[in-house]
Structure 1
């Protein structure tokens, strides 16, 4: 047997169909000492030399090189080689050594062949007698496999060495012991006679030399370093791999490194397969057990798993280590290379492999191994049929996800609920996999848990966790699984709770049509509180229909005007808020839903939190929302958590906390990747990200997000108006005023079709009015602002009324709510971003009209808002206003300013058209140039005028237009 990685280095190596002599590299020091040993034989000085190294590193090759050197110098060479397959053949090595002696050893050879246990040391004296006349070199390759009788014979030979006896014993042995074979320690008569050489792996420099010899061209340093790393410096493996690449026409360059690693892995695997066939049954059984659980169980337990309860562990460990399969690690034994472990598992019959995994899981469970480790074993084992296996697959879920979870790191931890330890390994592994976004592995853990016998309610709960993981990787399968749970038979509170959670989770992913259908089916047999919650979830799903009246109720009762059930209260609060009616009642119903906590479904509570925020109870609403996010983080309901984080991002954005909004949006997408969101839910996060990009001056990002293709059906989403709003913001930011107005109005028409008239939900009228003022259509702007004022007063929230008044100031003198400078209530309004922009637009309008006093007062208030520091666009507007107000020139002097005169005729023409509100496309069409030309001209204009945006250009252009 040659060991795991082969041992033909330095001798004859098969590479493809060619036999190749491989030169020794980086063995100069060892060769020098071996030359000295051969030379000493001529002076009658004996020696004992051990050469050790890992399999394939070339220790036997040095023996053969020394033998050839000795023969060249007329030194007799006797050769022997150990073999695992002949380890039980007594005196096997002695027979090899004595055979070349001819007649001198004829009698001892006959004794060895005829007697199983001959007396004395046959042939030893005859050999020593011939040595006195003939200097002799004895080489023993693979001495680790010597039979005990041959080992005893060699020990006797070493003890008889003395000065004047020209015999050198050269022993090659697999291993990394720098002192050579253990039996030499007490055998050599003198330390001066003994030398120990250890060969090491090749360095990148040696590999480069070898590669240049094989390829015929210089070797890239990166290639050489990668080769050493992949092959662990093993010369035999490297030689074979380099020949394979050369035969395939490659060159030793960095771009071939992936192919190099693949070839080396295959070579090591093939050699492992051949080496496995030479192992004893005991060694094979232990290796298979190590491949399954060597990282979890100590060697004693591994032997137990392999079925070897009475075995010499030290002998087995030594055999596996010397063969190159394993490395010691205290009480453990590790398989040295991943590819070797894979090959061992492939070589193990499927039934045997399953038995080993099941047995390892039992032993690991009893040894108190980590949940994820036990789960990894159970994933490959057949059903255990014991309660601890189900618990192991489910347990540790919360603890595993909490560890270093970027999504829920700051969330409060839930108590364990007093579950037994066993409720902590495949589900714990599920949690860890989800934390790493390894959704396929998370699903595999719970799929495996479903194979175990268990209580139906427990099975349904596992299905919920599995659907949560599948929502990210296989959303359609997730919806089917949830529908099966909702329609599963069963009575009592546990079943009711599980069914409601399943429907709630499916709605969280966003498929409202699925939700209405499944809720209607479940209502047919529901009773009591379960029926109340199903009705609430049905009407939550129904809110996305194209028209307010286009809903087939399928016999589902309408929500009561004053519902007592928390879930119904949350949905009713959202309805009142959208319609802008009964603000106090909406707040009361929202609080009823939120105070129910986890007893109520999640989606109605999220609706309630949003409704409460819009009543101006923002702080209270955000506290409840934070609690919901923390709860969902502990329960690992991915779709619902993603929706809660998206809502949180939207509220942070409206409050002007842009960093917090971006953090929440990122977390939502980590929880549930964008591709897994249903088309009816996807526009929400897309719109929020777009507006954040607008506010932070990421124009290209905002344009890409709003212009990205949307999945079919997204136009029916309740979040569609928000996406239209984001597109309008981008259009306005780029000076496409007419397009911006149409987008704002289109979003408004969507809301009106559903009778969602409350301006607190989305103040589209005032936003469209601002753009209409820019375009000069003050009459239409007046109608929209008056309508918003009326609706805001009907809703009654101070923030909505104040924002409408502020926007009205663009047409009239600013009222007390706009720029009072000392209003403490304004600072507590939730919609700080919209209010700050209202101030900025109004201040710009006043500065343009020449009323610097009012403009300065508005600018002072604007500068005092935190959002002016978080929004780079607002900060830029504030700086521009401050600079403009500091100028002493009158507006009419602008037309004769040096900056305006510095513009080229083409730039001036382009700037005038932009100042009239035309977008880049319209300007390009009117001037018969490309849009890129328009962009370049405007960029040059901004630089010459010392401005940064189209709004500032518009403000500067107005005086010119009036002259």
Structure 2
């Protein structure tokens, strides 16, 4: 028998439990008056059943009741009357001899309270205690009591109304996979007992407790995190707050709410979660850990199959956990998941790694058998050792192919690396290594070259696989700067293939395109092709003929009309599938220079979609470069800035170092065009940051470096640094001339240099370059090249002759079908300046207003500003734009652009390292200026800039 000394009870600690405590106290008052009964307190694990008993004991002992208590446990559940004996402090073992023995003579035990067996002796013992005064009996966790004691409590309940005794029992009531014992009092009339239920704390009560324990000035998300990690269960919440208290004592309370137990400095929370799982039984604990391990994958049926549990009870258990807030769903029908990462971490704590792998393997196989997506299957296999089954390989490769098509290269690489763990045939291993090597090399990682080199000898020597792998390896080497090694392995492949076969010709075409990364190699290849064309033209295939057209176009030897006619003849002859990508790549580049943009778009679209599985190929890279050139020429800056290569570099928060150099490989042309796009859209600081990242790692002998020099020259000229800009333009021109590229269709360096020379007062030199540019533009004969050359020549010439040349430039550009709007804006500004200088201010203002309008439609803020400055010079009053895209600040445009792409505010905050309030403020301002009210209206409101261009 255990007495309890009257001590003060901290009722403030029993949050939202006072009502139950008062009702139990009312039962105690009745018992003190001589009418006893049973009070049953039920609730899930951790809701405070034991704490409530302590409060009842403390309160009623102060009111004169003697307290006896027992705490049931699984260890004593096999001993008969163990719980009652502990409660009444009775000696059951060994049985006493003689007439007062506990055991009833004969066969079987008499459980009647009015007989002579142990049950009756215990009842008489209880009555003797009650005779001494009001008695409070407390039995904690009665669901763990032995069956004899449970039956005794039920029989006693029918007689307690005659005694000054209150029997308070606590019972765990929670839905588990293993059905619990029936409710103890299910057979009793409701008049003989009172029933009380404890629930988790409400959000308000939990929030008050968190503030009391951790302080009022908590960072955002901490209170919500505490509630989601505990479901408001007091046991879990108090344990978590103990751990968080120690964490905040070290960190000062700053930072985000922890999402893993590794961030906590103690393990009270994890220990309490483990105890709760143990209380729920092995089947429920297994299901909970399976749910936590699979996280967002798996409906009820899958969870039941993997965990080996009953599907019906599994579904009801998940519903029960969802009601308590410990399990959540993203939406109706969505898979269940543990409510918070910290809770998930605690649930999985101590679960063997082998068992976790088994869960993923079983889930993967079940998903595959059910016909789920290959990605869902493959994600489960990533953390599993080799399965050794065909279905696993098929799922991994299909998932990788899907990820590549969707532009998700990182998961694609993960799936391919995992596939290499499976037993594969020699050819299939070579295929997987090729695909993986292409992804790695395309991302600038040196390991890609190693994977491709390993794959080459595994492919069939006479099959197309060996050609694709070797070309991919050559492309990776050339883009990394080792052009000679790339050309050597392609020559070796040609020697192993039948002479003049389609595969040999394709290897030669790939080598020709890769030679452009090295000046001497390019000139040597072109010299060879020109020699063959002069002496044995019939030996040239379509790819070689197209390359010759390209060479002559850039050398200023043929017109755009002649080039297009020759390419049309080539296109009328069906190309071998192995050669087709190389023919298309060259044709698209020349057509882009010829300003045949509709045809360029069609060829690029067909080429990239048809040959994308090849991944790393110089023809595909050439098509991508042409697409970027065409976008820049037409002023489609949003399209250009949304290119994955550009996005990857712009969004990298830590530029510099070898990794940065690798990321720039093979993308310098596209990034150079991005520098100009940033400049034109008013993002000059970003343009300089990008240029500064390219400069230290540029491929100095590649054709791409010439594009960068020209872009940096434009950037420097825009800053007014004409001497440095002139140096870049002239270096670009020297290098282009060394490559026999004289035409302004590629890099109009003479126009840029002439503008700088004029600004520096060296008009004679400027005029010489402008006239040479015009002469070469006449040879090519397209509106863009001629209009640009006339504009610059007019600006440099000045006077009446300069005005006439500027007017001719505008007239020529107006004849172009489409795609020359950027050049037309520049020509209109130049003409407006000439008219202002000539005193024709009225005509000048008309021309300049047209220029400002066109520039605004393009989103070219720099040209809008230039047109407005010229308008001011002409005497016009310029009204600043207060609405529309042009009115957005740089920050507003970038944030609105990211939101238009589907990024959440939280993602934008993380990407741009901004506070959430800052993002919200900028979006509100952008909505007002754009005249919209909903996020879904952003893409159309931003126009061409919404496609990643801000």
User: Does TM, scored on the shorter chain, surpass 0.5?
Assistant: yes
SS across alignment from 1:697: coil
Task: Look up the match of 1:31.
Answer: 21
Contact in 1 for aligned 2:229/2:342 (Cα 8 Å): no
Task: Look up the match of 1:536.
Answer: 509
Task: Look up the match of 2:816.
Answer: 827
Matched, 1:715 2:700: yes
Task: Look up the match of 2:270.
Answer: 269
Matched, 1:681 2:680: no
Counterpart-to-counterpart distance in 2, 1:727 and 1:448 = 43
TM (norm. structure 2) is 0.74
Task: Look up the match of 1:64.
Answer: 54
Counterpart-to-counterpart distance in 2, 1:535 and 1:683 = 24
Q: Measure how far apart 1:29 and its partner are.
A: 2.2
After superposition, the Cα gap between the structure-2 partners of 1:608 and 1:44, relative to the gap in structure 1 and judged at 3 Å, is farther
Counterpart-to-counterpart distance in 2, 1:305 and 1:610 = 55
After superposition, the Cα gap between the structure-2 partners of 1:472 and 1:503, relative to the gap in structure 1 and judged at 3 Å, is closer
Counterpart-to-counterpart distance in 2, 1:620 and 1:52 = 76
Task: Look up the match of 1:769.
Answer: 754
Task: Look up the match of 2:169.
Answer: 171
- Stretch moving more, 616-625 or 362-371: 362-371
Contact in 2 for aligned 1:49/1:194 (Cα 8 Å): yes
Q: How many residues align?
A: 831
Contact in 2 for aligned 1:286/1:306 (Cα 8 Å): yes
Task: Look up the match of 1:617.
Answer: 596
Counterpart-to-counterpart distance in 2, 1:243 and 1:773 = 74
Q: Measure how far apart 1:621 and its partner are.
A: 1.1
5 Å-filtered alignment, 1:85-484, equals 85-100=75-90, 111=102, 118-120=109-111, 123-129=118-124, 130-131=126-127, 133=131, 134-158=133-157, 160-161=158-159, 163-175=161-173, 182-184=182-184, 186-190=186-190, 193-201=193-201, 203=203, 212=212, 220=218, 224=223, 226-244=225-243, 250=249, 254-255=253-254, 258=257, 262-263=263-264, 266-273=267-274, 292-293=293-294, 305=306, 338=341, 342=345, 347-396=350-399, 401=403, 435=408, 439=410, 441-471=411-441, 475-484=445-454
5 Å-filtered alignment, 1:851-890, equals 859=848, 862=851, 870-885=859-874
Q: Measure how far apart 1:250 and its partner are.
A: 1.3
Please list the CA deviations of residues 628-679 of structure 1 after superposition, one character each: whole Å capped at 9, or x if unmatched: 4445778877999787555423322211233333344787538997947554
One of 627, 638, 653 as aligned partner of 1:648: 627
Please list the CA deviations of residues 565-585 of structure 1 after superposition, one character each: whole Å capped at 9, or x if unmatched: 455455444333322334456
Please list the CA deviations of residues 415-461 of structure 1 after superposition, one character each: whole Å capped at 9, or x if unmatched: xxxxxxxxxxxxxxx777x63x7x2x432222111222344444333
Matched, 1:587 2:564: yes
Contact in 2 for aligned 1:205/1:224 (Cα 8 Å): no
Q: Measure how far apart 1:264 and its partner are.
A: 8.2
- Stretch moving more, 371-380 or 740-749: 371-380
Counterpart-to-counterpart distance in 1, 2:791 and 2:247 = 76
After superposition, the Cα gap between the structure-2 partners of 1:267 and 1:748, relative to the gap in structure 1 and judged at 3 Å, is farther
- Stretch moving more, 860-869 or 602-611: 860-869
Q: Measure how far apart 1:32 and its partner are.
A: 1.9
After superposition, the Cα gap between the structure-2 partners of 1:281 and 1:696, relative to the gap in structure 1 and judged at 3 Å, is closer
One of 506, 529, 551 as aligned partner of 1:575: 551
Matched, 1:791 2:791: no
Task: Look up the match of 1:936.
Answer: none
Matched, 1:758 2:743: yes
SS across alignment from 1:447: helix
Q: Measure how far apart 1:752 and its partner are.
A: 0.9
Counterpart-to-counterpart distance in 2, 1:265 and 1:372 = 38
After superposition, the Cα gap between the structure-2 partners of 1:183 and 1:718, relative to the gap in structure 1 and judged at 3 Å, is same
Counterpart-to-counterpart distance in 2, 1:687 and 1:331 = 45
- Stretch moving more, 466-475 or 536-545: 466-475
Counterpart-to-counterpart distance in 1, 2:107 and 2:781 = 109
Counterpart-to-counterpart distance in 2, 1:331 and 1:506 = 43
Counterpart-to-counterpart distance in 1, 2:564 and 2:395 = 44
Task: Say what the alpha-carbon RMSD is for the aligned residues.
Answer: 5.0
Please list the CA deviations of residues 744-763 of structure 1 after superposition, one character each: whole Å capped at 9, or x if unmatched: 11211111111111111111
Task: Look up the match of 1:896.
Answer: none
Q: Measure how far apart 1:714 and its partner are.
A: 3.0
Counterpart-to-counterpart distance in 1, 2:756 and 2:312 = 88
Q: Which stretches in structure 2 are left out of the alignment for 5+ residues?
A: 1-6, 878-950
Q: Measure how far apart 1:186 and its partner are.
A: 3.0
Q: Measure how far apart 1:475 and its partner are.
A: 1.4
Task: Look up the match of 2:897.
Answer: none
Contact in 1 for aligned 2:713/2:728 (Cα 8 Å): yes
Task: Look up the match of 1:52.
Answer: 42
Matched, 1:669 2:669: no
Please list the CA deviations of residues 887-938 of structure 1 after superposition, one character each: whole Å capped at 9, or x if unmatched: 79xxxxxxxxxxxxxxxxxxxxxxxxxxxxxxxxxxxxxxxxxxxxxxxxxx
Task: Look up the match of 1:77.
Answer: 67
Counterpart-to-counterpart distance in 1, 2:488 and 2:791 = 45
Q: Which stretches in structure 1 are left out of the alignment for 5+ residues?
A: 1-10, 12-19, 402-429, 889-963
SS across alignment from 1:523: helix
After superposition, the Cα gap between the structure-2 partners of 1:727 and 1:332, relative to the gap in structure 1 and judged at 3 Å, is closer
Contact in 2 for aligned 1:77/1:138 (Cα 8 Å): yes
After superposition, the Cα gap between the structure-2 partners of 1:171 and 1:299, relative to the gap in structure 1 and judged at 3 Å, is farther
One of 25, 30, 39 as aligned partner of 1:40: 30
SS across alignment from 1:475: coil
Q: Measure how far apart 1:886 and its partner are.
A: 5.2
Counterpart-to-counterpart distance in 2, 1:618 and 1:733 = 28
Matched, 1:742 2:712: no
After superposition, the Cα gap between the structure-2 partners of 1:41 and 1:596, relative to the gap in structure 1 and judged at 3 Å, is farther
Counterpart-to-counterpart distance in 1, 2:175 and 2:368 = 36
Counterpart-to-counterpart distance in 2, 1:83 and 1:555 = 92
Counterpart-to-counterpart distance in 2, 1:860 and 1:221 = 52
Contact in 1 for aligned 2:80/2:146 (Cα 8 Å): yes
Task: Look up the match of 1:408.
Answer: none
Q: Measure how far apart 1:302 and its partner are.
A: 5.7
Contact in 2 for aligned 1:806/1:838 (Cα 8 Å): yes
Please list the CA deviations of residues 114-170 of structure 1 after superposition, one character each: whole Å capped at 9, or x if unmatched: 999744356444454434635433333223434444434433344x15643443332
Counterpart-to-counterpart distance in 1, 2:352 and 2:836 = 84
After superposition, the Cα gap between the structure-2 partners of 1:801 and 1:554, relative to the gap in structure 1 and judged at 3 Å, is closer
Q: Measure how far apart 1:525 and its partner are.
A: 1.9
Please list the CA deviations of residues 683-723 of structure 1 after superposition, one character each: whole Å capped at 9, or x if unmatched: 32332222123222333333333344633343333222222
SS across alignment from 2:418: helix
Matched, 1:525 2:496: yes
SS across alignment from 1:255: coil
TM (norm. structure 1) is 0.73
